[in-house]
C-alpha cells in the first residue's frame, strides 16, 4: 500500500501542486491526516485549496484507514440517534433519526439503514449530508404482497384477518453493476383462519429512487428475525436458515446459509453449507453439533469485505472465526482463520467488527459489557479501547465523512 506521502505526490489536486500557505504540501497533507473527520470538515472553510485536498478520494481513503469509524445506536427518552464514533469512543457526528426506538442498522458505502423495533418503519441515512429518508410504510396488510410458506410465488395481498407479525431488520445494499441502492425486507405473519394455522411470508425490495415496495418471491424457508443472522456484501444478502427458525427446514444444518441476489431480486436456488458441518467427517459429529447448538452460538459477519461465521463455544469460552475463501457457493470453501479464547463468560458473545491494519481484531463486547475491544492474535491478549455503555448496537461504518461513495473496508 502506498504511503500517504506517496499519494500526495501522485494524486493531489492540481491547485495543491505548489505549497499551500507557509507549509509544504507534504507536511500539510500529513498534518491534516492526523485530525478527525469532523475537524477536517470545519477546516474546509479555511480556503478552497484545503477543501479540495480534504475532499480528494485518495486523501479520504488514507484518512479513513487511519481513523476508522463505528456506527452506533443511541437511545434516549425522546428519540433515537445514530452516532459515528472513533475507536476511543469519541463522537464524531450525531445523526438524529426518529422518535421510534431503533434496534438494528447496517452500513453500505457512505449510507446507513436503520430499522425500528416493530419493523413498520425503516430509514436510510446519509451521514455526510445528514439527510434521513423514511421508506414507505408497508406494515398495512393491504399494502404488502405475500406468498404462502409452501410456495415461492407471489400470490396476492395480505388478508385482513388477525395476524401475529415477526418483523426482520431491513438490509441496505449498494448494487455495483448499476450504482443503485436497494433495501430488502422479509417478514413472517402467523394466523389462525377457518380453524387452521397459516404462515405467510413476505419478501419486498425497494430502490431508493422509487416510492413503492416490489413484491418478490418468498424465501425458500423462514428467515431469522435478528440482525446477527443476516449480512449483505457485494450485492447479495446472506441469511442463516436454521432448524431453530423453521420446523419444516429441509433437515438443514444450523450453519446453512441462504442468499438473495439484490441485483436480480431473486433467491438463489442453492443453499450454502456452512463451515462447521462441512468440516465434520461423520454423521455422529453432525448430530452432536445439532444437539449442542443451543449451548453454542453462531453469527454471520462481514469483515474487510469477506463473508464470515463466528462460532461461539460456551463450554470453553472461546470463538472461532471462519471465512468463505471463494464467494462461489458451489465450491463452499471455508477457512478457520482465528480461534480466540474469550476473557470471561460475561464477555460471551463478542462481535468481531474489523481486522485492523496492524493485524489486531476490533471487537464489540456486546450484552453485559458493551466495551470496544481489540484482540491481538499473535500475543493472544485482549485490550479495552473504550467503554460504550450508552450504545445498544455497534457496527463498522465503511464509508467516509470526507468523500461520498468511498468504500473503506
Q: Tell me the angle at which helices 48-55 and 25-33 cross, rounded to the nearest 10 degrees.
A: 60
* Predicted local confidence at residue 77, as pLDDT: 56
Q: Edge to edge, what strands does the sheet with 351-355 contain?
A: 351-355, 361-365, 371-376, 381-387
In the predicted structure, residue 20 carries a pLDDT above the cut 70: no
% of the chain with per-residue pLDDT over 90: 26
pTM: 0.83
* Predicted local confidence at residue 8, as pLDDT: 43
Residue 347 is given by DSSP the state G
* End-to-end Cα separation, the chain, in angstroms: 14
In the predicted structure, residue 201 carries a pLDDT above the cut 60: yes
* Predicted local confidence at residue 279, as pLDDT: 66
Contact of 241 with 271, CB cutoff 8 Å: yes
Give 44 or 195, the one with higher predicted confidence.
44
Contact of 160 with 141, CB cutoff 8 Å: yes
Q: How confident is the model at residue 10 (pLDDT cuts 50, 70, 90)?
A: very low
% of the chain with per-residue pLDDT over 70: 70
Contact of 321 with 308, CB cutoff 8 Å: yes
Q: What is the pLDDT averaged over residues 332-346? A: 82
Q: 153-200, pLDDT tens digit by residue? A: 544 555 555 556 666 788 999 998 888 999 998 877 766 666 666 667
Please tell me which of 22-31, 194-203, 280-289 the model is most confident about, judged by mean pLDDT.
22-31
> Strand, helix or coil at 146?
strand
> Strand, helix or coil at 277?
helix
- Residue 303 CA to residue 398 CA, distance in Å, equals 10
DSSP characters over 99-140: SS-EEEEEEETTEEEEEETTSS-EEEE-TTT--EEEPP---S
Cell of 235: 450485492
Q: How confident is the model at residue 381 (pLDDT cuts 50, 70, 90)?
A: very high
Domain boundaries of the chain, sorted by first residue: 4-63
In the predicted structure, residue 348 carries a pLDDT above the cut 90: no
In the predicted structure, residue 56 carries a pLDDT above the cut 80: yes
Average pLDDT score, the chain: 78
Q: How confident is the model at residue 380 (pLDDT cuts 50, 70, 90)?
A: very high
Q: What is the pLDDT averaged over residues 16-22? A: 51
- Residue 379 CA to residue 397 CA, distance in Å, equals 27
Contact of 184 with 177, CB cutoff 8 Å: no
- Residue 88 CA to residue 95 CA, distance in Å, equals 19
Q: What is the pLDDT averaged over residues 122-141? A: 80
- Helix (H) / strand (E) element for 53: namely helix 48-55
Amino acid at each position: 500500500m502506498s504511503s500517504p506521502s506517496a499519494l500526495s505526490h501522485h494524486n493531489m489536486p492540481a491547485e495543491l501542486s505548489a505549497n499551500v500557505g507557509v507549509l509544504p504540501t507534504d507536511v500539510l497533507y500529513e498534518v491534516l491526516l492526523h485530525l478527525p473527520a469532523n475537524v477536517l470538515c470545519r477546516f474546509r472553510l479555511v480556503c478552497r485549496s484545503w477543501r479540495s485536498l480534504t475532499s480528494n478520494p485518495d486523501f479520504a481513503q488514507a484518512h479513513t484507514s487511519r481513523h476508522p469509524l463505528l456506527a452506533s445506536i443511541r437511545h434516549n427518552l425522546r428519540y433515537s440517534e445514530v452516532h459515528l464514533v472513533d475507536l476511543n469512543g469519541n463522537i464524531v457526528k450525531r445523526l438524529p433519526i426518529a422518535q421510534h426506538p431503533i434496534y438494528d442498522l447496517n452500513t453500505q458505502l457512505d449510507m446507513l439503514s436503520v430499522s425500528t423495533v416493530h419493523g413498520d418503519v425503516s430509514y436510510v441515512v446519509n451521514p455526510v449530508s445528514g439527510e434521513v429518508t423514511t421508506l414507505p410504510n408497508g406494515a398495512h396488510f393491504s399494502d404488502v404482497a405475500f406468498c404462502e410458506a409452501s410456495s415461492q410465488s407471489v400470490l396476492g395481498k395480505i388478508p385482513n384477518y388477525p395476524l401475529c407479525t415477526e418483523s426482520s431488520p431491513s438490509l441496505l445494499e449498494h448494487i455495483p453493476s448499476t450504482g443503485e441502492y436497494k433495501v430488502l425486507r422479509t417478514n413472517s405473519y402467523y394466523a389462525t383462519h377457518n380453524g387452521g394455522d397459516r404462515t405467510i411470508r413476505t419478501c419486498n425490495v425497494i430502490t431508493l429512487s422509487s416510492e413503492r415496495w416490489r413484491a418478490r418471491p418468498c424465501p425458500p424457508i423462514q428467515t431469522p428475525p435478528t440482525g446477527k443472522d443476516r449480512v449483505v456484501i457485494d450485492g447479495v444478502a446472506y441469511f442463516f436458515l436454521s432448524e431453530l427458525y423453521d420446523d419444516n427446514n429441509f433437515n438443514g444444518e444450523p450453519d446453512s446459509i441462504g442468499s438473495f441476489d439484490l441485483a436480480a431480486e431473486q433467491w438463489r436456488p442453492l443453499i450454502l453449507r456452512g463451515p462447521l458441518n462441512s468440516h465434520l467427517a461423520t454423521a455422529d459429529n453432525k448430530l452432536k453439533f445439532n444437539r449442542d447448538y443451543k449451548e453454542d452460538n453462531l453469527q454471520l459477519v462481514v469483515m474487510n469485505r469477506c463473508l464470515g461465521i463466528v462460532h461461539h463455544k460456551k463450554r470453553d469460552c472461546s470463538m472461532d472465526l471462519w471465512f468463505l475463501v471463494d464467494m462461489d457457493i458451489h465450491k463452499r470453501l471455508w477457512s478457520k482463520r482465528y480461534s480466540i479464547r474469550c476473557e470471561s463468560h460475561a464477555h460471551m458473545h463478542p462481535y468481531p467488527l474489523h481486522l485492523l491494519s496492524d493485524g489486531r481484531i476490533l471487537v464489540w463486547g456486546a450484552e453485559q459489557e458493551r466495551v470496544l475491544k481489540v484482540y491481538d492474535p499473535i500475543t493472544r491478549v485482549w485490550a479495552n479501547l473504550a467503554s460504550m455503555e450508552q450504545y445498544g448496537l455497534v457496527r463498522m461504518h465503511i464509508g467516509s465523512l470526507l468523500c461520498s461513495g468511498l468504500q473503506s473496508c
